[in-house]
Structure 1
Amino acid sequence: MEPNGNVLEEADRRLDVAFSALADPTRRAILTRLSRSEATVLELAEPFPLSQPAISKHLKVLERAGLITRRRDAQRRPCRLEADALRGATDWLDEYRQFWTESYERLDTLLADLHPANPEAGGPGEQR
């Protein structure tokens, strides 16, 4: 069953938003930190030379991309990584990883056929 255009368009839109969010090194560092445990805005801002409002803007981008969620915990609003949201980007990248793996395997086979490992076979410039 072929997915309809709307499903593909939505998947492409989510992928665009995710890659856009991942394009910034500060946001990637925030995700790396959240991969260890949830954290508040203040905790996330600590290692960066950025203001809390600047970190909050980064968090909003990550939240819109579905890469993080925030919840209320009394006075705290901890952020949590939503690893499943990375699945679309990972799946997309895996398709290309598979393509390149197969391409390199074909190249290895071709090179092995052109230059056999057997030294007795001889070759240009080889002395006998």
Structure 2
Amino acid sequence: MKMKRKRHRGQRRRQRLRRRQQQEEQQEQQQQQQQQQQQQQQQQQQQQQQQQQQQQQQQQQQQQQQQQQCQQCQQCQQLQQQEQQQQQQQQQRRRRNNRRSRRSRKSKKSRRNRRTRNTRRRRRRNNE
């Protein structure tokens, strides 16, 4: 009877040892899994940050493009205004020139007319 008890004690010890080892192994596995999960989370966070940075860069590029387009538009408008001003100036010059030429023609005509009148008068007087 005593021998049987001893056997049981030995078996129980072995079982306890096995259980402890199994528990320790399970704990190690759980710790490893947790570490892996943490690493994965960190990687995901890094990826998200990179994506955000890329989005910000894209937004900046879009803003720059819009600004460039705006500048081009402004330049075009300025050019158009300059052309309009030039055209207006040309028109004003033409009008002035036309007025001058008319005046000069009129004055020439009036001179001619005076001369012819004067000569006619002289001839008449002379004839008389």
- What TM-score bracket applies, with the shorter chain setting the length? under 0.3
Larger Rg: 2
Higher RCO (CA 8 Å, separation ≥ 6 residues): 1
Structure-1-length-normalised TM-score: 0.27
Tell me which protein shows more helix as a share of its residues.
Answer: 2
TM-score (norm 2): 0.27
